[in-house]
Amino acid sequence: QGTWLNGNTHYFITATDPDNVQIFTWTNALSGTNPVQQTNLNLQTATGVTSSAPVSWPQAGGGGSIQGNDERPQDFEYRNGFGWTSQVVACNPGSGTVNCVRWAQINLSTFTVANAGVYGSNGDYRTFADLAVNACDGMAVGYTKGNSSIFPSIFVTGREAGDPAGTLQAETQLKAGEITYTAFDSAPRRWGDYTEMTIAPDGVTFWYLGEYSKITGNGSGRWGTYIGSFSFPSCTTGPTPTPGPTLTPSLTPAPTDTPSPTPAPDGLFCAAPFSIVDGGTATSSLTISDARSINDLNVLLDVAHTWVGDLTFTLTHQNTGTSVTFVDRPGVPASTYGCSGNDIDARLDDEAGTPVETTCGAGTPTINGNFSPNNALSAFDGESVNGTWVLTVTDSVTPDGGAVNQWCVEATLGGAAPTDTPVPPTNTPIPPTNTPIPPTATATGVPPTATNTPIPPTATNTPVPGSDTIIYVSSTSNGNAGGVAFADEDIIAYNMTTGSWSLYFDGSDVGLAGGSGLDINAFHLLPDGSILMSVVTGGTLTGVGTIDDSDIVRFVPTSLGSNTAGSFEWYFDGSDVGLTTSSEDIDAIGISPAGNLLISTTGGVTANGASAADEDLLEFSGTVGSANTSGTFSVYFDGSDVGLSTSSSEDVTGVFVNASNNDIYLNTVGNFSVTGASGTAEDIFTCAPSSLGSSTACSFSFFWDGSASGFAGENMDGLYIENP
């Protein structure tokens, strides 16, 4: 790839470990000569960033971790006398080890590093990074990215020739993951090897083929491949290429039946999945940072919902106040309840010929293809695309539930594009930290001392993105919060912005009963909308059978609120992994930043590799998701190290890990008092850790006053925080 080499010397790169690469030349390769090593380059020294082999990485949905594979170079590209390479290594951007993209530009006349950097961010794991270089010496690199809040997705980033040394621009999402990746093996699961960035013959357009987690239609997540293209606006014309050898057309005929991949539009902005509230209204927001004006706007919808005639979709541009209802209960008022078909996979486009209003196909998705909206999206034309966009989904009829798997704003943009942003523009990027090459670094320099801060990488456990902080709690008894009556088998939600309460999960609707063994003792919300639960003493549950208080079940809802419906399935059998005594009942559930199950127990526990007290948290690494559980435990949080005692009142009964700063949100069974915070069983406090495991250290602060918020006198027995 790159410019064709004049002469007969070719260049190769190899790696012997995460730090060192070797450059070989091979002259007259067809004349019996051997490659000759020209140099060994230590890229850890060149970048100044301590690195190691990639680690397994988490994903949304609790499907188990994914293999980090190894650090071998993914490519070696020649362009204008330089060789460019990329690889994935483990690094620590500041809050724990993650997988990062390391790249280098090597001068092939001196065999020295001309430019290099490491691209990483807290909590994010990147894998299979492959690069290419355009005619203007701009570089683009593509990769798969995942963490505990997103499914494996495809991203690209890059740099232009004039960018600061050692840096890459903000990354752009090309394709969002759709589902938890389960593959064909157990965790850590094997990820596929399909990755390739290349440059078109025009020397300007980058094409990338990458992998994402794909819905297969049978509930299993597999990897899918996706192709997109983009370019840097500042590079418009490539030089006339020097021709290579003449090809004989008859040997490699061009296929006539395979269309070219469709390039990514110049403005494609996509949001994360979110749940549709059965019989209610749900919203999802998307922030776009791009000053260009809208010439034309379409909306892409991927919706899983039975009886789509229930649904109304409205797009609002908050910065301007413009609002358009573009899908309004297809088939209504022509019929009373509208289209009875299932699912939507559609592009809403003013220029499309078929109205979405009258579409109700026999297959699934029932609305599948390009359609004109109920109301024209041209209302947004001429506005700047910049700002916050909100999709509002109203489900008018129960009991059909569902989710928006993805929604996107697809815009044709005018005006001057920013010169430092690759196309397509980014969807609310959080630029990773770039570590530039030190100006005085040499191949003989001493590698920097590694930072040893044993904090796990950041994870996001928020199922539905939004702007308000929502606290979900369950109580050990019946009560009333802000006018909302609840039972001890229910989950209620408190909006910290509005101060309002609502019923989120009605346990009695699905067979749970307060005062019996089937009362919620702990819970955790997963990104796919399902709920993990343990119960007080055990009993018989429809769809699962007999469960114990050391087990965890997963509830998959079809509707929530005052008309909760859905099904239960096995998630974790405690007796399989040593939880067998009365003190080993599970009374707190969470998900660790690595995507593993976190639990606390009602008393002391000794099981499969670890011992802990009731103020501790154990991390389980192994196989979950069925009645056949296997794996081992390790201590994740040692409460006694930070002042929580083994007294009955400071038993941890609720846990949540913050997405942005690794804080651990905690609740105890009774009164607690630690340095920096004290409270009762109705309150929540946080631990900001500086280390975890068997040597836990953190600073505490008070987070939420239950009595001041309408939860007075209650004993919380589970918590979850959305958008902390």
Between CA 426 and CA 269 the distance in angstroms is 7
From residue 596, give the alpha-carbon distance in Å to each of 53, 232, 549, 565.
Answer: 21, 40, 20, 27
Two structure tokens written together for 622:
């192994």
- Domain presence at residue 465: no
Q: What is the distance between the terminal CA atoms of the chain, rounded to a whole angstrom?
A: 46
Mean pLDDT calculated for residue range 280-309? 88
The set of residues, in sequence order, having a beta carbon less than 8 Å from that of 143 and lying 6+ positions away, is: 88, 101, 126, 127, 128, 129, 130, 154, 155, 156, 195, 210
- Domain presence at residue 378: yes
Cβ-contact 112, 87 below 8 angstroms: no
- Domain presence at residue 436: no
Domain boundary among 397, 414, 431: 414
Cβ-contact 204, 134 below 8 angstroms: yes
- Domain presence at residue 250: no
Domain boundary among 210, 243, 265: 265
Amino acid identity, position 493: A
Cβ-contact 724, 469 below 8 angstroms: yes
pLDDT surpassing 50 at residue 265: no
Between CA 52 and CA 434 the distance in angstroms is 17
> According to the model, what pLDDT value does residue 192 have?
76
Q: Return the HEC string of 516-572.
A: CCCCEEEEEECCCCCEEEEECCEEEECCCEEEECCCEEEEEEEECECCCEEEEEEEE
- Domain presence at residue 592: yes
Whether residues 508 and 376 share a domain: the answer is: no
Q: Are strands 311-317 and 387-395 parallel, antiparallel or unpaired?
A: antiparallel
Between CA 443 and CA 366 the distance in angstroms is 61
The domain of 404 spans: 268-414
The alpha carbon dihedral of 269, 272, 596, 640 has a sign of: positive
Cβ-contact 91, 434 below 8 angstroms: no
pLDDT digits (tens, 9 = 90+) for 374-425: 999 999 999 988 888 999 999 988 777 789 988 999 888 876 433 333 333 3
Q: What is the CATH number of the domain that holds 107?
A: 2.115.10
Residue 641's SS3 state is helix
Whether residues 83 and 40 share a domain: the answer is: yes
Q: What percent of the chain has pLDDT over 70?
A: 85
Most confident of 84-88, 288-292, 627-631: 84-88
Two structure tokens written together for 550:
């050391």
Q: What is the CATH number of the domain that holds 669?
A: 2.120.10
User: Which phi and psi (to 5°) does residue 649 adopt?
Assistant: -80, -20
Between CA 284 and CA 269 the distance in angstroms is 13
Whether residues 531 and 658 share a domain: the answer is: yes
Residue 342's SS3 state is coil
pLDDT surpassing 80 at residue 528: no
pLDDT surpassing 80 at residue 647: no
Q: Are strands 367-371 and 344-348 parallel, antiparallel or unpaired?
A: parallel
Whether residues 221 and 287 share a domain: the answer is: no
pLDDT surpassing 80 at residue 460: no
DSSP sequence for 312-323: EEEEEETTTTEE
Mean pLDDT calculated for residue range 504-528? 85
Whether residues 610 and 716 share a domain: the answer is: yes
- Which of 168, 183, 270, 283 is CA-nearest to residue 228? 270
- CA Rg, the chain, in Å? 27
Mean pLDDT calculated for residue range 478-501? 91
Mean pLDDT calculated for residue range 518-532? 88
Mean pLDDT calculated for residue range 465-494? 86
Between CA 135 and CA 201 the distance in angstroms is 10
What does the angle CA 506 – CA 509 – CA 515 come to, to the nearest 5 degrees? Answer: 75
Whether residues 121 and 205 share a domain: the answer is: yes
Whether residues 273 and 196 share a domain: the answer is: no
User: Which phi and psi (to 5°) does residue 707 adopt?
Assistant: -65, -40
> According to the model, what pLDDT value does residue 259 have?
33
> According to the model, what pLDDT value does residue 415 have?
62
Cβ-contact 471, 494 below 8 angstroms: yes
> According to the model, what pLDDT value does residue 79 have?
87
Cβ-contact 26, 82 below 8 angstroms: no
DSSP sequence for 654-670: EEEE-TTT--EEEEESS
Task: Count structural domains, the chain.
Answer: 3
HSE-CB for 555 with a 13 A CA cutoff: 28
pLDDT digits (tens, 9 = 90+) for 180-213: 888 767 788 888 777 899 999 888 999 999 999 8
> According to the model, what pLDDT value does residue 1 have?
47
pLDDT band at 26 (very low <50, low <70, confident <90, very high): confident
Between CA 718 and CA 309 the distance in angstroms is 36
Amino acid identity, position 542: T
- Domain presence at residue 597: yes
Whether residues 382 and 479 share a domain: the answer is: no
- Which of 108, 104, 103, 105 is CA-nearest to residue 81? 108
Between CA 61 and CA 148 the distance in angstroms is 8
Two structure tokens written together for 91:
């690094």
Whether residues 529 and 599 share a domain: the answer is: yes
Whether residues 502 and 651 share a domain: the answer is: yes
pLDDT surpassing 70 at residue 472: yes
pLDDT band at 527 (very low <50, low <70, confident <90, very high): confident
- Domain presence at residue 424: no
pLDDT surpassing 90 at residue 32: no
pLDDT digits (tens, 9 = 90+) for 215-226: 765 556 788 899
Whether residues 155 and 202 share a domain: the answer is: yes
380 φ/ψ sector (left φ>0, alpha ψ -120 to 50, else beta): alpha
Residue 323's SS3 state is strand
Cβ-contact 225, 217 below 8 angstroms: no
pLDDT band at 627 (very low <50, low <70, confident <90, very high): confident
What does the angle CA 85 – CA 100 – CA 184 come to, to the nearest 5 degrees? Answer: 100
Between CA 295 and CA 41 the distance in angstroms is 49
pLDDT band at 659 (very low <50, low <70, confident <90, very high): low
Higher pLDDT pick, 419 / 83:
83
Mean pLDDT for the chain overall: 82
Two structure tokens written together for 88:
């994935």
Domain boundary among 389, 414, 439: 414
Tell me whether the omega of the peptide bond preceding residue 457 falls within 30 degrees of 0, making it cis: no
Mean pLDDT calculated for residue range 575-581? 90
DSSP one-letter code for 575: G
- Domain presence at residue 137: yes
The set of residues, in sequence order, having a beta carbon less than 8 Å from that of 441 and lying 6+ positions away, is: 45, 46, 47, 48, 113
Q: What is the CATH number of the domain that holds 349?
A: 2.60.120.260
Two structure tokens written together for 419:
């010169």
Whether residues 290 and 186 share a domain: the answer is: no
